[in-house]
Amino acid sequence: MDMCHSNNWVVAQKRTITQPALIAHDLPLGLAIPNFFYDAHVKALEMEIVGSMVPRLPFLVSGHNTKIA
C-alpha cells in the first residue's frame, strides 16, 4: 500500500528569539514544471491570508492568517 506522509514541525514560543511559535511542514509532492503551487497573498475587508494555491481551487492549500496556520 502506497501512503503519503507529510512532515510537520512546531517550535514552542519560549524556544524562539522572536517569541511567536514556529510552525513548518512539507507537502509530499515531487518537483513539477510548471510549478503545481502558486504563492498568494489575499486581503479582504476583515481578512488577510498568505500561502499556496492551486489554480482553479478557491482556497489556500497551505498557509496562514494572523491567528492560525
Segment 26-61, tens digit of pLDDT = 777 777 777 778 889 989 888 898 988 888 888 888
The answer as to whether 69 is a domain residue is: no
CA distance linking residue 25 with residue 51, whole number of Å: 12
| Structural domains counted in the chain | 1
Q: Does the pLDDT of residue 1 top 60, yes or no?
A: no
Q: Which residue has the higher pLDDT, 25 or 65?
A: 65
Q: Which residue has the higher pLDDT, 32 or 14?
A: 14
The answer as to whether 44 is a domain residue is: yes
What pTM value is reported for the model? 0.58
Distances (CA, A) of 34 to 23, 25, 54: 27, 22, 12
Per-residue confidence (pLDDT) for residue 2, from 0 to 100: 47
CA distance linking residue 12 with residue 2, whole number of Å: 33
**DSSP strand pairing (47-53 vs 38-44):** antiparallel
The answer as to whether 2 is a domain residue is: no
Domain of 51 in residue numbering reads as 7-64
The answer as to whether 1 is a domain residue is: no
Question: Residue 28, CB half-sphere, CA atoms under 13 Å: how many?
Answer: 7
